[in-house]
């Protein structure tokens, strides 16, 4: 999400939200050890400590769809395989309300 201080207006902050499926990576799995080894290379000793805590869990997030907002009338949904299908949120952007003129 875009920092409020950098945004033109708080209502149109640029942002990306992801809907994901979640699975826990079990401790005995090779993926758990490989992932924590990579994290330890990146983040150092903290990961060595976390890996030995019994209440530390590792999760895999798999994005299923995403929403990307660039501003008013610029909201998009990403879906499909590899989130490759991009559609405008309401198909045509915002339109003003029609008001009775007297």
For the chain, domains (ranges, CATH) are: 4-88 (2.30.110.10)
The residues that bridge with 100 in the sheet, in sequence order, are: none
Nearest 5°: the CA angle 40, 42, 48 is 15
d(CA 44, CA 49): 10
Please tell me the distance from the alpha carbon of residue 74 to that of residue 95, in angstroms, as a whole number. Answer: 12
- Pair 62, 24: CB distance under 8 Å: no
The stretches in the chain having pLDDT less than 50 are: none
The neighbouring-strand residues paired with 7 are none
What pLDDT does 8 receive?
86
| pLDDT tens sequence across 72-92 | 888 999 999 999 999 998 766
Q: What pTM was estimated for this model as a whole?
A: 0.70
């Amino acid at each position: 999400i875009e920092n409020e201080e950098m945004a033109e207006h708080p209502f149109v902050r640029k942002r990306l939200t992801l809907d994901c499926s979640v699975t826990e990576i079990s401790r005995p799995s090779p993926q758990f050890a490989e992932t924590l080894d990579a994290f330890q290379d990146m983040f150092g000793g903290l990961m060595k400590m976390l890996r030995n805590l019994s209440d530390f869990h590792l999760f895999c997030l798999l994005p299923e769809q995403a929403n990307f907002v660039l501003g008013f009338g610029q909201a998009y949904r990403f879906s499909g395989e590899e989130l490759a299908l991009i559609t405008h949120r309401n198909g045509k952007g915002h339109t003003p309300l029609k008001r009775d003129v007297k």
